[in-house]
Structures are given as structure tokens and as C-alpha cells.
Amino acid sequence: MIERPSPNFSKRPPGFDVDLLLFHYTGMESCEAAIERLCDPESKVSAHYVIDEDGTVYSLVPEDATAWHAGVSCWEGKIGMNQRSIGIELVNPGHDHGYRPFPEAQMVAAIELAKGILERHPIPPRQVLAHGDVAPMRRQDPGELFDWKRLADEGIGLWPKKMDVEPIKGAIRDIQVALRTIGYCIPVDGEDTPIYRAMLETFQRHWYPKSVDGKADKGTRTMLAAVSVAVQAAMMAERVAKAD
């Protein structure tokens, strides 16, 4: 781990639990350019960690401080993800500069880093998320090439175990309800709007990367059902654990 302290952070309120882990990509040509930007006081952006494609991990902001990585964001009806989250930036040129697979060394480093973070903070698996999940109108990162299934197999994040579910049937409203159950901040209005399509596409990038098109095909509807069932089961288990 290499220290590259960024001035772009603020204090977390005392006693405030971090309950969310957000993955990003840098969307820039090089690791060094990304770190420079994340450490530039003018940019007013940062992250806790940057992971280069060769697996080198840079620490920019201590975990007990708030890094400025999420921007305008929303999850489960709550806005502003920075204060409650840890942010990891994966070096990748991103969709605008030649999006490419995340190399093995980078994935291994990300898994190791995330495991440590999950040991230090009470982050439920369903709140290990993509930046795109909490800001779908503005962001796509880390995108459909990021292997969320592999992370979940390593105990990081939620992946449905039960796939023998009925696909979400019916109209747009039913799909919106499923997305909202998972945590997406989506209006349930039954309308085929740009927000609806962006939300569906964001869902696909995370859980159904083989068709990232904002269309509710059968596979997407099945995965939506499976993820929303898994999220509801996870929330139930969390409530039981809290009550004990």
C-alpha cells in the first residue's frame, strides 16, 4: 500500500457508521493522471483508495474520514453517499477512453482490500455497490466488465443464490417496484422514461451484464426477481440479527 494523501476529505460525524462500499473506475488514461486529479485541491474529488491495473494499492484518504467520490447520489431513498461510504477507484480508461477488462492482478488486489474494509465496517453485502447504482443518470462505473459475481463468491457483495424464481411479469410499474425493492431510487410511475431506462441499464451492468440495453428481456426480468428476493431475505436477516 502506497500513501498518496489527498487534501480532499472531510470529517465523519462521531459515531457515524460506514455502511456502504462503492466501486468506481477512474475513467482516465493513466493511474498517475487519476491520482493527481484526486489529490488536486481544485478538483474537489477524491476516493479512499486507487488500485492500479498491476494491483498496486494507493491510499489517499483514511477510512475514518469522508472522501468525495459519490457526488449527487441516492440509495434506498437516502441521498448523499459520501459520508456513509468507502470509495475504491479502479484504474480503467472507462467507457469514454477505451473501456477494457480489469486485469487479474487488479481484481485480486480489489478483493483483498474489500475483505479488509468489510471486516472493519458494518457494511451489509447488499450495500456493496457500483457508483452507477447510486448515480445512474450520470455514471456507468465500474461498468459491465467488473466481475461482481466473483466478488460475491469471495464474500463481497450480494449475488442471488436462488435463480429458480418467476421472472417479473407485467408492466413497467412492476419492474420499477422490483428496482426500488433492491434499493434504486426510481419513481414508480409506470412510465417508460429516460430515468427508467437508465436505472434498468445500471441494474444490468451490475447483475446482468450480457445485455446492457435498458430493455426488460426475460433474462433481465428473472435476474430482477432473483436479486429483489435476495435483498428482501438479506434485510429480513439483518432485522432479526438486530433484534437479538
| Residues making contact with Zn ion (CB under 5 A) | 24, 131, 141
Query: 24 or 221: whose CB is closer to Zn ion?
Result: 24
What's the min distance (Å) between Cβ of 86 and Zn ion? 13
Q: What are phi and psi of 85, to 5 degrees?
A: -130, 165
What's the min distance (Å) between Cβ of 87 and Zn ion? 8
d(CA 186, CA 172): 12
Q: Are 131 and 24 in contact (CB under 8 A)?
A: yes
d(CA 51, CA 36): 14
DSSP 175: H
Query: 90 or 226: whose CB is closer to Zn ion?
Result: 90
Query: 94 or 160: whose CB is closer to Zn ion?
Result: 94
d(CA 154, CA 107): 11
Query: 131 or 221: whose CB is closer to Zn ion?
Result: 131
What's the min distance (Å) between Cβ of 33 and Zn ion? 15
Query: 141 or 144: whose CB is closer to Zn ion?
Result: 141
What's the min distance (Å) between Cβ of 91 and Zn ion? 12
3-state helix, strand, coil in the chain (%, to 5): 35, 15, 50
What's the min distance (Å) between Cβ of 153 and Zn ion? 24
Q: Sheet with 128-130: list strands edge to edge.
A: 2-3, 57-59, 49-51, 85-90, 20-25, 128-130
